[in-house]
Every structure is written in C-alpha cells, then in structure tokens.
Amino acid sequence: MNSFIVMQGDTYHEEKEAGVIWSPKEDRGGQVPHSWKRLKEVRQGDPIFHYVKGDIVAVSIAKVDCSEEMQPSTLWNQTESKQGYLVKLEYQELDVPVNVKEKFQEISPLLPLKYSPFQNDASGNPGYLYPCNEALTIKLLELISESNFYRVNEEQLELTVDEVRRTDRNTLVPVITETESEAKTKMRWGKLKFRNEVAPLWEEQCALCAINLPELLKASHSKPWKDCSNDERLDPYNGLLLCRNHAGLYEEGLIAFDGQGRLHISSIMQEKDYEIYGLVERAKISIHQENKVYFKWHKRKIFRK
C-alpha cells in the first residue's frame, strides 16, 4: 500500500462526481511533470487524500490500478480529448475538513524535503499528485479522526442516540481504521527488517562507543524514512547502529559522518560537553563503501553546522 495527496482545487467537484482523478500525459511543451506521471504508481487499494484550497476534504480508495485513458468527457471544458492517466476512486467526503494551516505544526516535521505537497507557509505546492509517506499518512488519519469521529473517554461517557447512529453509519470509519492499520503494519515491519539487517554491519554494537547491549541500540537512518524511496528505506547501508544517546544526536543533526567515516560535531554543541556525550572531534569509524552516499546526504541535508 502506498498513499498519495492529490491537489485538486477547482477540479475537485467534477472529479468527485466522476469518481476519478485524471491528468494528461504531457503539458503543452511536451514535458511530463512528476506530479502527473505519479498517477502511474497508484494501485488498487491505495488511499488518496484530497486537498482543496487549504483543506483535506476527502479520503478515497483506488478501485483499480491506474490506466491510460482519454480524458473523460465530463471533466472540465475541453476542445479536444487528451490521452492521460486515470484512477477510479471511491470518494469518502469528510463532514469536517482538516485545515492544513491550523495543523501544520504537527504535519510539517513529517514532510519530505523533495516532492512535498506543502510549502513552508502551509500552502499547497503547484502540481497534482504527491507521495504521502506512512508517518504522514498516519498523522493525517489521526487528524481526520479527531474532527470527524465521536470518541468515548473519561470526560465524555455518554453519547446521544443520534451521535451513536451517525458514527455507526459512517462509511468513512472502516476506511480510516483499515488504512491506519495497514500503514502502521508496513512501518513496523519495515523498521524491524531494517534493524535486523543493519545490526550485523556494525558488529551488533554502537559505531561510536561500542555499547553492545541490544536494548540500548538503535538502527538510525542516515537519509530519514520520510525522504527515502521504498528501496532506500530498507537499504541496510542507509543505516547506522548507535546507542540511544548517539542515535538522538545523529537524528537531530548534531553529529554527522563524512565519506571517510570521520565524525563532525555541530557548532550548537559546546566543546566542554564533548566528553559528557562521548564525542571526540574527527574520530573515525570504519564504514562500508555503500554508506558513503547516505552519510554525505545526511551531512548535507540534516547536519546542523
């Protein structure tokens, strides 16, 4: 299962009525924008979040794999029919849309550096279909659930009959719960597989301090999960086995390694504290050739000089 965010704007109502999303194959200059071509990646069962003018307004599930189809005659004013990519969907419109700007503090840490659907000011990026990683999928589902479902908790022990019936009849509920379950399972399985394949590359111990107690070790991604392709997420050479303390420093960009395996320490950290954290400037670890491309990415994109 892969998830996506489609930026629809004025096209939303016509596409919803037709039960599809569609894009041309090429723009007027003969180019193929990445956000159009991405429709080819959609498979049956994939969830899609629909973004319209600042809000997530619906969730849909792909009925079939993407296919190459002529532009449906019901979509927009057209002088000539165009060949393009089409996905048939089952739309589930939200009773209460999720405003991205209001929730951007929760959403922004999960956005990829490349092909993000949203800009830094929370506005939507130009384009049509964007990838949505598992962590972002789970967060959007949580935000949708908070706004659209009634929950019983210690402070709300009673629901009216109308509220119960409305929740029971809501066809969005199984879509949200099943999609959330699949996304969490995919992440959990992927991270377990990643951990099991990373550990032997570092002799089952922290690359920096040699701690070898499994409970204190973590397989950290050099290129974070949210920024990876599917292959990169599970590539063990994108991993570095570190104790929990050093893993935290690495993932926050406070330490990094260059292509030779030499340690670099962020200027944010005070030199007098190096010993406390077990850090030695320019210390060198033994690395694999395949680590280099990921270490360089981390040092360029994550490391806080």
SS (H, E, C) 136-153: HHHHHHHHHHHHHCCCCE
Residue 171 vs residue 154, higher pLDDT: 171
Does the global pTM surpass 0.85?
no
Confidence of residue 175 (pLDDT cuts 50, 70, 90): confident
pLDDT digits 0-9 by tens, 179-225? 888 889 988 999 899 999 999 999 999 999 999 999 999 999 999 99
Task: Tell me the CATH number of domain 3-133, given options 3.90.1310.10, 3.40.50.300, 3.10.590.10, 3.40.50.10710.
Answer: 3.10.590.10
Instruction: Find, among 246, 161, 232, 169, the residue nearest to 202 by Cα.
Output: 246
pLDDT digits 0-9 by tens, 212-266? 999 999 999 999 999 998 899 999 999 999 999 999 999 999 999 999 999 999 9
- Range list for CATH 3.10.590.10 in the chain: 3-133
Confidence of residue 37 (pLDDT cuts 50, 70, 90): very high
pLDDT digits 0-9 by tens, 105-158? 999 999 999 999 999 999 999 999 999 999 999 999 999 988 887 554 444 444
What would the DSSP string read from start to end of 45-68?
Answer: T-EEEEEETTEEEEEEEESS--EE
Task: At 34, give phi and psi (nearest 5°).
Answer: -60, -35
Q: In this prediction, what percent of the chain has a pLDDT beyond 90?
A: 73
User: What's the chain's average pLDDT?
Assistant: 89
| Helix, strand or coil, per DSSP, at residue 176 | helix
pLDDT score, position 73: 77
